[in-house]
Amino acid sequence: MRGARTGRSGPISVSFVPAPCPAAFAFAIGKRVGNAVVRNRLRRRLKELVRLRLDLPCGTYLVRARPEAANLEFEELAVHLRHATSRFARQTAGPV
């Protein structure tokens, strides 16, 4: 992902490349995070959090999670994802 901007917060990092709508999301959760049940649970939680972030600009996103993300509560995961993606929302927001 050349030219991608990356935001990081705790165990979550998000890379962003501007692209036409609709936004596309991919999730990279390695085997170090846990077995398939743990990885899929984390992926489902991240997908729900992304769905709730309505202020994200159009583009392509890669959401990566490190092993410690599997132990976080939903609210803690939401805070880390919000912080990791906040610079993308700020940079593309126009004047109010």
Q: Exposed e or buried b for every residue in 50-67, given b needs 16+ CB within 10 A?
A: beebeebbebbbbbbbee
Say if CB 38 and CB 29 are below 8 A apart. Answer: no
Q: Looking at residue 2, what is its pLDDT? A: 61
Tell me whether residue 96 is in a domain.
Answer: no
Q: Check which CATH number belongs to the domain holding 85 and give it.
A: 3.30.230.10
Q: Which amino acid is at 92?
A: T
**Given a cut of 60, is residue 91 above it in pLDDT?**
no
Tell me whether residue 81 is in a domain.
Answer: yes
Read off the pTM: 0.82
Q: Give the count of domains, the chain.
A: 1
Tell me whether residue 94 is in a domain.
Answer: no
In this prediction, residues 55-81 reach a mean pLDDT of 92
